[in-house]
Amino acid sequence: MSEAAARLPGLIVNIDDLGMCHGANVAFLELFARGRCDSGSVMVPCPWFLEIAEAGAADPALKLGVHVTLTAEKAHYRWRPLTAPPKSSGLVDDDGYFHGDPQTVRRRAVPEAVEAEMRAQIEMFLRHGLKPTHFDPHQDTVLAPEFFPIYVALGREYGVPVLFPRNLASHDSIDGIGPVDEAAYIAAALELEASGEPVADSIRETPWHRDQPAEARYRALFADIGPGLTFMAMHANAPGEIEAIEPRSAAIRTEEYDVLRAEGPIDWIDGLKVRRGTLTDFRTVSP
């Protein structure tokens, strides 16, 4: 890489929630083929994991990571831990499903049970012949202060970079985990960077509103990329079952899919002067 290229802002366009439903897999596979995204994050405990795992095993060029999952937030479409833990683990509700939000997990889950579940998801991903480009958090639950040291340690153990914010102010969705002490995150980010691991200067999310036409929402999102490394956690989904799974926000996901899959060049994505890649590509040393 030239010195000029190395100085460009970094951008990772990542499609979250693969394996959650068939439409998520369809959207990722098409957008990756078109060069509109750089990687995808797989929810291993979810019903459509086997479909995306089969695609990834058949095509090693696909860039897939583990979307570490400790919550099942949909009203009528739920999933359970791979470890089948007892209720005393704090990981499950009265019906044996993951809890519906990160703060409940923080209050109830035993860290040892969290570690066992995270490890089970990683091992199942590997067992299906997949090589992870990264680990990242579903609903940010594993970024809670009770759990992120486990998350970071597993990244080191498996030699896989983890998505981690340089500071919490630049992370769109971190408020969902509730109150935290930012000092611990700053220290962890500095330690990761010192060891050659990538740290995200900005973590941006799908715009979860319809206050503007769809293309305008995404033009604004991509126009706001700053210096350093930006990780865009996108949620494109092909239509079909998502409308029943997530009726309130399904249109946001399907509109995102339509905007990103446009035929021909998209000047506000394809014309960006940035360095694109996966989290693995932004390491400064080999694991």
The string of pLDDT tens digits covering residues 46-97 is 999 999 999 999 999 999 999 999 999 999 999 999 999 999 999 999 999 9
Pairing of strands 229-234, 202-205: parallel
In this predicted structure, the answer to whether residue 287 has a pLDDT above a threshold of 70 is no
Q: Residue 271's pLDDT is what?
A: 92
How many helices (H) and strands (E) the chain has is answered by 11, 7
In this predicted structure, the answer to whether residue 1 has a pLDDT above a threshold of 60 is no
Average pLDDT over residues 218-232: 96
Q: How many domains does the chain have?
A: 1
Helix 49-58 crosses helix 22-33 at what angle (to 10 degrees)? 30
Average pLDDT over residues 9-14: 98
- Among candidate residues 31, 7, 41, the one with its CA nearest the CA of residue 231: 41
Q: Is residue 15 part of a domain?
A: yes
Question: Which range marks the domain in which residue 139 is found?
Answer: 3-282
Q: Show the tokens assigned to 37.
A: 């995204």
Do 176 and 139 form a contact (C-beta atoms < 8 A)?
yes
Give the residue, 38 or 170, on which the prediction is more confident.
38
- What's the CATH number where 212 sits? 3.20.20.370
Q: pLDDT grade, residue 7 (50/70/90)? A: confident
Q: Is residue 54 part of a domain?
A: yes
Average pLDDT over residues 264-276: 94
Whole-number average pLDDT of the chain: 96
Q: Is residue 287 part of a domain?
A: no
Q: Is residue 14 part of a domain?
A: yes
Q: List 66's β-bridge partners, or say none.
A: 42, 135
Q: List 205's β-bridge partners, or say none.
A: 233
Q: Residues of the chain with pLDDT > 90: what percent?
A: 96
Q: Residue 2's pLDDT is what?
A: 55
